[in-house]
Amino acid sequence: MTVLLTRFRVDLLLLLVAAPWGSTYLAAKELVSPSSVVALLAVRMLLAAAIMAAIVAARRNRVSGAEARVGVILGLLLAGVFTFETFGIAHTSATNAGLIISLTMVFTPILESVTTGRRLPGRFFLAAAAAVVGVVLLAGNGALHPPSLGDLLVLVAAIVRAVHVTTMSKLTAGKPMDSLHLTTIQLATCAAVFTAISLFYGESVPRYLGQLDPGRGMLFLYLVIVCTVFAFFVQTWAVRRTSPSRVSLLLGTEPIWAALIGITIAKDNVGVAGYLGIALILAGTAWGRSVEQNHRLATPSPELQPPAAVSTGGTNPSLRD
């Protein structure tokens, strides 16, 4: 009974992480415009990095040189993910963004296969093809229109995120690195990059903050604290108490939450073809993830195993990257 209760508590908390991650796209959509993307990212990363740095300082554990070097490299890649994703959100719907970004789950195994020379089963590529067809249907809503600029930017973000995840695995495999330290360095790197860019592009940070009314300010704090800091801690806590596959499965429900929130709350217009596209994306990514996990477990390789000290899981870059 105690084991079942513990598993239920872990599963419930992971679902409570997946739901806010699914809401990230709508929250960002409400807070951002094309001219304020960089300022929003600068403030978000500065606050998140400050909170994480305070926690690291409270633990009184020093960040090693290796953690700092790897964290900066990963942080630069993560900055690329945030840039493409947030600019994409500014030019597309929350539903489209939340579903297209889920293609990371099929891009990552393909990239790992290329870098390691390890072939994936044919079924995986069928699943990937189904997900891509779903994106085409969702983006065009049944018509043969090319995807919007926002859709393409989010698609690029999914590819860059796959590069980020693969690079993380390569740089941290078999090395004693603290996931809290790595995440803090990544966020600090992103904060430095976006703060520097905000001095020359788009709205300034002071002007952006001055435009936040109390309601938008609360939404922004939700984006930072719940979707970023809280989510990271729960994921790190959970991965020590259950299997990585179970963590991935539960956090993989994020696109479902994104679709539900986008359609019901944001009132995104989705036709019959769009719903078919959503179904194909969800089915294709879930099938692809299942095929890849079963293939990896059947033929284990140290190169492809996620490092125990680094959190891996869902698709939202808030902190799982």
If pLDDT is split at 50, 70 and 90, which confidence band does 54 have? very high
**Which of 29-33, 145-149, 164-168, 200-204 has the weakest average pLDDT?**
145-149
- Residue 36 above 90 pLDDT? yes
3-class DSSP assignment, residue 278: helix
- Residue 241 above 70 pLDDT? no
Among 10, 42, 55, CA closest to 178: 55
Domain range annotation of the chain = 2-304
Question: For the segment 68-101, what is each residue's pLDDT rounded down to a tens digit?
Answer: 999 999 999 999 999 999 999 999 888 888 888 8
Task: Give the Å distances, CA to CA, from 166 to 88, 108, 110, 160.
Answer: 22, 7, 10, 10
User: How far is 155 from 168, CA to CA, in rounded Å?
Assistant: 20
pTM of the model: 0.81
- Residue 307 above 50 pLDDT? no
Cα R_g (the chain), whole angstroms: 19
Question: For the segment 172-186, what is each residue's pLDDT rounded down to a tens digit?
Answer: 877 888 888 888 999
Rama region for 57: left / alpha / beta (φ>0; ψ in -120 to 50; rest):
alpha
Question: For the segment 244-268, what is each residue's pLDDT rounded down to a tens digit?
Answer: 555 555 666 777 888 888 888 888 8
3-class DSSP assignment, residue 173: coil
